[in-house]
Amino acid sequence: MLQAHNNLDAFPETADIETASDDYAGRFAGAVGAWMLKIQEVTVLDLLQDHPGAAILDVGGGHGQLAVPLCREHYPVTVVGSAEVCRRRIAALVETGLPADVSGGVRRCQTKTEGPAQAGQCRFQVANVLKLPFADRSFDTVLCFRLVTHCARWEELIGELCRVAARAVIVDYPTSQSLNCVAPRLFGAKKKLEGNTRAFRLFRHAEIAGAFARHNFVPGRRSGQFFLPMVLHRRLKCRPLSAAMEDLLRQAGLVRRWGSPVILELRRRESAAFACPPAQDQPGSSARELSQPPCAIPAGTRVLVTGATGFTGALLARKLVRSGLEVHAIARASSNLEALRDLPIRWHRGNVFDEAVVAEATQGVDYIFHVAAAYREARHADAMYAQVHVHSTQLLARAALKNPAFKRFVHVSTVGVHGHIANPPADELYSMHPGDIYQQTKADAELWLRDFAQKKALPYTVIRPAAIYGPGDTRLLKFFRMASRRILFLLGRGQCLYHLIHVDDLTNIMILAATHPAARDEVFICGNPDCITLDQMARIVAGELGNRFRLVRLPAFPFFMAADVCEWVCRKLGVEPPIHRRRLAFFTKDRSFNTRKLREKLGYQVRYSNEAGLIQTTRWYCEQGWLKRRS
C-alpha cells in the first residue's frame, strides 16, 4: 500500500483505494452480497441498453463490481484508480479478458448468453480522479460508483465526470430522502455492526441534479436499490428473506420512491434542446430550426433578461441575440451557463434580489424581461419566494426609471395567481386566489408593479403563462411517463382541465409584447386557445408511444391526507416531501382560461396546437432516452 499512501499528496481524493481492498469486498461476500451486486448490475445494464457498444470510463471502479459485467456484455471499459493497488482486483480481467470474481480470484462465464470478455477489452489507468488525463468527451458514458459519497470535493469530481462524458454519466449515491435519513444518528451503532464502515455523505436528489445541471447534464432515469438499509440485509444473512421483503416493497412502489442507494443516469443537454422546432402542418414535426419572430426592437438595443439560464429564459435570450440585440443577463454564481456559451451575452453574476447586481445589470437598458422565478420546493423558506419574486421586481422597476430611454418592463407572472378556476374559463379580470406561497408572491409582485407603474408612469406588460412545455422541459416528464404505462391513475372525478403554452409560442409573445402599443400597461394570459384534460393529454402521448392504457380513478381525499402527513414529517426531517398538496393539485384543480385577449389585442396566433406540441415533446423525450415506444 506504499504507492497508495504516496498518492495522497498528489491526488486529493483517494476514497476508491479503500473500495478496491479485500476488506471492502468482504461486505459483498456470500449470497446476500451477490444479490446486492446483481441488483446493481441489472440496473446499470438496463440503463446502458440505449448505448450499445458505448466506450465506458469507470471512475474509481477498481472494486470490479461493474467492470466484470460490462466486459461480459462486450462494452470496452477503462477503469481509473487513484493508485496501482486498485488494479489488483481486476488484474485478471485486464490481462487475460477472463471475468474476475469481485470477491477474489477468477471465474468463467456461467451462461450460454454471456460471451467471454476479450483481452484488451478492459484497461486500467492510475489517475487523479479530480483531474482525469482524458480530453473532453473522450468516452460515451462515464460511471462512478461507491465514490461520490466519500469524496469531500464531490462537486469537482462531478465536474470531471461531465467533462469527459460525451453522452451520459451514471452515478450512485445514498440519499437522505429514504430511511438513510437516520443514518448519521445511528452511525456509531452501524460501525459496531459492520466494523469497516466509513463516514459517508447523504445527498438530496435535487442536490445531485443541481451539481450536474451546472455542467449541462439533466437527470434521466433514477432507480432506488433497496428500501431497507443494506446493513440490515447483511446482518440477516438470508438472501431469500431479504429478496422477498424488497420485492414486496418494490411492488408497493416504496423502493422506487424512497430507495437508497440511488442509481441515476444523467444525459448531456445540448444547446439544441433550447432550439424549439417550428410547427408544421403535420403534428409533432421533429424539425430543429429555431422559430424567430419579427422583432421591432432596433438592432443594437441593450436589453436585460433575468432567469436566462432557465427553460423559458434561455430560449428568449437566444431569440433576442438572433435579433441583433445587446443582451445582458443576471445569473446566480452557481448557475450553469454552458447551454448559452455560444452567445455573446453579457453576464452579471449574483442574485436577482441583490441591489448592487441589479444596479449594474440595468445600466442603459431599454427593455427588461423579468423571467426569474424560484422553483416550488419545500426546502425554500417563504422569505426566498418573496425575495426572488417581489423584492427583485421592486429593485428592477426602480432601476428602470433611472434610464431616460427606457421603453418596456415585461414581467412574467403565472396563471397560478388565479388558483382553482371554479367557473371556467377565466380571463385576465378573474379574481386572484393564489393557493401556495409561490403563487402568492407572484401575485404580490404583479400587484405591486401595477400600482408602482401607474404612479411613476413606468411602461410595463404582465405575461401570465399557462403550463409551459416543449423540448428542453422536464417538469411534465413524470406525467408523460405515467402515460407510457399500462394503467393511468388519476385522482378524483373532476374534469382536470389544463391549459398549455408551448415555450416557442410564449417567447414569441414576450418579444411581441415588448413593443406592441396595445400591450402597454396590460395583462395577458398566455395559453393555447383550447384547454385540454389530463386524460386527453395522456392519450395523445400514449398514442405517439404506441401505448394503450386503462384509466383508473382514485378518490383524492386520502391522498391529500397522506400528503399533509408526509409534508409535515419531511419538513421535520429537513427533506423534500415526495408528495404534497401542490403536486396533487395538478390532478384535481381546473385551470381553464379564455385567451381571446391575446389574439384580439396583439393579433398573435399560436403556432402549436395542443396535439402538435405534445407529440413533438414526446418525440424529444424519446430522443433523450427518457421515454420508449412500444414495440
pLDDT of residue 380: 56
Helix (H, G, I), strand (E, B) or coil at 447: helix
**Beta strand 122-126 with 77-81: parallel, antiparallel or unpaired?**
parallel
| Contact assessment for residue 470 and residue 482, using Cβ atoms and an 8 Å cutoff | no
pLDDT of residue 254: 84
| Contact assessment for residue 446 and residue 413, using Cβ atoms and an 8 Å cutoff | yes
pLDDT of residue 531: 87
Helix (H, G, I), strand (E, B) or coil at 519: helix
| Contact assessment for residue 598 and residue 194, using Cβ atoms and an 8 Å cutoff | no
| Contact assessment for residue 347 and residue 329, using Cβ atoms and an 8 Å cutoff | yes
| Contact assessment for residue 459 and residue 520, using Cβ atoms and an 8 Å cutoff | yes
Task: Indicate the residue type of 320.
Answer: L
Is the whole model's pTM more than 0.75, yes or no? no
Strand partners, 426: 593
| Contact assessment for residue 362 and residue 356, using Cβ atoms and an 8 Å cutoff | no
Residue 577, sorted as left (phi over 0), alpha (psi -120 to 50) or beta, turns out to be beta
Angle 371-374-379 from CA coordinates, rounded to 5°: 170
Q: Cell 409560442 sits at which residue?
A: 505
**Cα Rg for the chain, rounded, in angstroms?**
26
Helix (H, G, I), strand (E, B) or coil at 515: coil
Task: Indicate the residue type of 628.
Answer: K
Rounded distance between C-alpha atoms, residue 30 and residue 234, angstroms: 10
User: What cell numbers appear for 163 in the block?
Assistant: 467533462
User: What cell numbers appear for 421 in the block?
Assistant: 378556476
Rounded distance between C-alpha atoms, residue 445 and residue 411, angstroms: 9
Does a cis peptide bond (omega within 30 degrees of 0) precede residue 76?
Answer: no
Structural domains in the chain, sorted by start: 2-171+203-223 (3.40.50.150), 273-624 (3.40.50.720)
Task: Indicate the residue type of 573.
Answer: L
Average pLDDT by stretches of 10, the chain with 631 residues: 43 79 77 90 86 86 88 90 89 69 39 48 91 92 92 92 93 86 55 58 86 83 86 85 88 82 84 40 42 85 95 94 94 87 92 95 96 71 88 97 96 91 84 88 96 96 95 89 86 72 96 96 94 87 90 69 69 62 58 89 92 93 89 61
pLDDT of residue 287: 37
Does a cis peptide bond (omega within 30 degrees of 0) precede residue 577?
Answer: no
Rounded distance between C-alpha atoms, residue 113 and residue 105, angstroms: 22
Helix (H, G, I), strand (E, B) or coil at 363: coil
Rounded to 10 degrees, what is the CA torsion of 20, 26, 29, 32?
Answer: -110
pLDDT of residue 582: 58
Range list of H helices, 287-436:
311-322, 355-361, 382-385, 392-400
Rounded distance between C-alpha atoms, residue 41 and residue 65, angstroms: 8
pLDDT of residue 567: 67
User: What cell numbers appear for 536 in the block?
Assistant: 386527453
Task: Indicate the residue type of 298.
Answer: P
Distance between first and last Cα of the chain = 52
User: What cell numbers appear for 381 in the block?
Assistant: 423558506
pLDDT of residue 9: 47
| Contact assessment for residue 412 and residue 306, using Cβ atoms and an 8 Å cutoff | no
Q: How far is CA 527 from the centre of its chain?
A: 24
Task: Indicate the residue type of 318.
Answer: R
Closest by alpha carbon to 328, among 367, 295, 294?
367
| Contact assessment for residue 103 and residue 23, using Cβ atoms and an 8 Å cutoff | no
Strand partners, 156: none
pLDDT of residue 446: 96
DSSP state of 125: E
Residue 432 CB-half CA count within 13 A: 17
Residue 158 CB-half CA count within 13 A: 28
Rounded distance between C-alpha atoms, residue 424 and residue 432, angstroms: 14
**Number of other residues whose CB lies within 10 A of the CB of residue 115:** 12
Beta strands in 68-138 (DSSP E): 77-81, 122-126
DSSP state of 340: G
Rounded distance between C-alpha atoms, residue 624 and residue 255, angstroms: 24
| Contact assessment for residue 256 and residue 224, using Cβ atoms and an 8 Å cutoff | yes
**Number of other residues whose CB lies within 10 A of the CB of residue 522:** 16
Helix (H, G, I), strand (E, B) or coil at 614: helix
**Number of other residues whose CB lies within 10 A of the CB of residue 134:** 16
Angle 260-155-127 from CA coordinates, rounded to 5°: 100
User: What cell numbers appear for 223 in the block?
Assistant: 432507480
pLDDT of residue 114: 45
